Chains A and B, each alone.
Chain A
Amino acid sequence: MDKNLLGTNVITQIGILVNDIEKVSQAYADFFGIEKPKWFWTETADVAQTRYRGQSTPARAKLAFINMGSLQLELIEPDREPSTWREYLDEHGEGPHHIAFVVEGMKDKVALLEKNGMPLVQKGEYTGGRYAYMDTFPQLKVLVELLENDK
């Protein structure tokens, strides 16, 4: 395998799939003594341009972020449309889905990982940046999400 492909090893997010984001957010808020995070929908298909396993999908998810020191914990409640979130939740139930890294040069990084046997599963746009989930499960036993933020 090519070495240090991503140019970083700093985990910036851990993403957890849940069935009821309201309920789980409240549990985090109670136990950690913080304000309950406000969830929001990911962008609509025209903005998000989500592609899942090579095909366009209208899938969206409710997201809530909780700051936990050096990283953020991301709660994800997906809708019923096809997505890595829905697929993983249906297969595994609630639980951790990915760890995320901020990278520069998204296209190159995706291509490098693909060349090393870790294919793109899903990608999309959000205000100010874009993300890509790579199927690193066979190698790393967890999915890796790449995040690229506009400068």
Chain B
Amino acid sequence: MEHIDNNNLVKIGLVVDDLERTARTFCELFGMEMPAVQVPDPDAAPEPTDDNYTWYRGEYRPTRTKFANLQMGPVTLELLEPYDEPSPWNEFRQKHGQGVHFIAFTVGGFNRHLDLLEKFGMPTTHKGEYGAGRYAYVESEDRLGVTLGVQELGPRQD
């Protein structure tokens, strides 16, 4: 049977209410440098283009979140503090509160993997493109007990 091209878990996503505070606690507890916090413009939502868009539950729309990456051994822990607008992270927060939202894998062949996931009964809920890479989350909580994310880095592959 066809399946995902690797099972190397590279990222764990953690949705929080106060990114700076939680990040600082992680850094103190685990002896790490405070990461750079990426903050989208709260007032301006970018127009979607081929190289920069977010798509969530059927429409192109801004799905903004603050985020920061903590390197914890080979795995990246991504802290996310979503804005109060529809997005996968805000959906998670409203449903579950703060906590671990997703596990993610880097794949080659973004669309091929999304088609495959769909065949496994895990349709795409969100995808985003930022030029140097693209990522998506699928509806997998019922099947896998957690949201699955896939990302492709570099040029778009088939």
Contact across chains for B144 and A69 when beta carbons are under 8 A apart? no
Q: Which of A1-55 contact B (CB under 8 A)?
A: 1-6, 8-12, 14, 16-18, 24, 27-28, 30-34
Partner of B144, one of A3, A8, A28: A28
Partner of B30, one of A4, A33, A75: A4
Partner of B77, one of A5, A11, A116: A11
Contact across chains for B145 and A11 when beta carbons are under 8 A apart? no
Counting CB contacts under 8 A, is A99 at the interface? yes
| Alpha-carbon distance between A94 and B1 when the two chains are bound, in angstroms | 27
Partner of A70, one of B3, B6, B75, B98: B75
Contact across chains for B145 and A94 when beta carbons are under 8 A apart? yes
**Which residues of B lie under 8 Å from residue A3 when comparing CB positions?**
28, 31
Counting CB contacts under 8 A, is A141 at the interface? yes
Partner of B145, one of A17, A71, A99, A142: A17
Contact across chains for A69 and B10 when beta carbons are under 8 A apart? yes
Contact across chains for B145 and A70 when beta carbons are under 8 A apart? no
Contact across chains for B72 and A140 when beta carbons are under 8 A apart? no
Contact across chains for B100 and A96 when beta carbons are under 8 A apart? yes
**Which residues of A lie under 8 Å from residue B100 when comparing CB positions?**
14, 95-96, 99, 141-142
Contact across chains for B141 and A11 when beta carbons are under 8 A apart? no
| Alpha-carbon distance between A141 and B16 when the two chains are bound, in angstroms | 7
Contact across chains for A142 and B144 when beta carbons are under 8 A apart? no
| Alpha-carbon distance between A20 and B146 when the two chains are bound, in angstroms | 14
What 1/0 flags go to A66-82 for Cβ under 8 Å of B? 11111101010000000
What 1/0 flags go to B86-109 for Cβ under 8 Å of A? 000000000010111001000000
Ordered by A's residue number, 13 sampled pairs between the chains whose C-beta atoms are within 8 Å are A1-B28, A9-B31, A14-B9, A14-B100, A32-B4, A34-B7, A68-B7, A94-B141, A95-B141, A95-B145, A140-B25, A141-B98, A142-B99
Q: A-contacting residues of B (Cβ < 8 Å)?
A: 1, 3-4, 6-10, 12, 14-16, 22, 25-26, 28-32, 71-75, 77, 96, 98-100, 103, 117, 120, 122, 141, 143-146
